[in-house]
Amino acid sequence: MTEDPLVRDLTYSNVRGETFTLSQSLYRESLEALGRIGERIGEGKNRVSPGEALSMLREIYRIVDRVGESVSGHMSCSAGCAACCRMMVGVTRGEGEILRERVDREPEGERKDRWRTGLLARTETLLSMEGSADPSRPLSTLSDMLATCEAYEGKGLFCPFLGADRLCEIYEDRPLMCRICWTLTDPRDCDPGEGPPVKFRNGVFFRAFDLVILLGKAGYSDPRHRPIPLWLTLA
Ligand code: SF4
Ligand code: SF4
Going from the Cα of 217 to the center of ligand 2, the distance in angstroms, rounded, reads 24
Residue 194: CB atoms within 10 Å: 12
> E-strand spans in 1-152?
11-13, 19-21, 90-92
Region label for 43, one of left (φ > 0), alpha (ψ between -120 and 50) or beta (otherwise): left
Q: How confident is the model at residue 1 (pLDDT cuts 50, 70, 90)?
A: low
Which of 227, 89, 53 has its CA nearest to residue 168? 89
Going from the Cα of 161 to the center of ligand 2, the distance in angstroms, rounded, reads 6
Res. 147: pLDDT tops 70? no
Note the pLDDT of residue 128.
79
Q: What residue's CA is closest to ligand 2, atom 8?
A: 85
Res. 4: pLDDT tops 80? no
Indicate the DSSP class of residue 214: H
Residue 2 one-letter amino acid: T
Q: How confident is the model at residue 131 (pLDDT cuts 50, 70, 90)?
A: low
Q: What residue's CA is closest to ligand 1, atom 6?
A: 77
> Closest ligand 2 atom to the C-alpha of 174?
1
Q: Which of 85, 87, 100, 119 to mutate to test the pocket of ligand 2 (most atoms within 8 A of CB)?
A: 85
Helices (H), 76-155: 93-105, 110-128, 142-153
pLDDT tens column, 28-82: 999 999 999 999 999 989 999 999 999 999 999 999 999 999 999 999 999 999 9
Going from the Cα of 89 to the center of ligand 1, the distance in angstroms, rounded, reads 14
Distance (Å, whole) CA 14 – CA 71: 11
Going from the Cα of 197 to the center of ligand 1, the distance in angstroms, rounded, reads 9
Domain boundaries, the chain: 5-233
Q: What is the mean pLDDT of the chain?
A: 89
Lowest mean pLDDT among 45-54, 101-110, 190-199: 190-199
CA dihedral of residues 29, 31, 37, 38 (deg, nearest 10): -150
Note the pLDDT of residue 225.
80
Indicate the DSSP class of residue 71: T
Going from the Cα of 224 to the center of ligand 1, the distance in angstroms, rounded, reads 26
Q: How confident is the model at residue 157 (pLDDT cuts 50, 70, 90)?
A: confident
Q: Is the pTM of this model over 0.75?
A: yes
Angle at 231 between CA 226 and CA 234, to 5 degrees: 115
Write out the H or E segment, with its range, that includes residue 226: strand 225-227
Q: Are 168 and 161 in contact (CB under 8 A)?
A: yes
Write out the H or E segment, with its range, that includes residue 31: helix 24-40
196 compared with 211, residue with greater pLDDT: 211
* Ligand positioned closest to the Cα atom of 159: 2
Indicate the DSSP class of residue 170: T
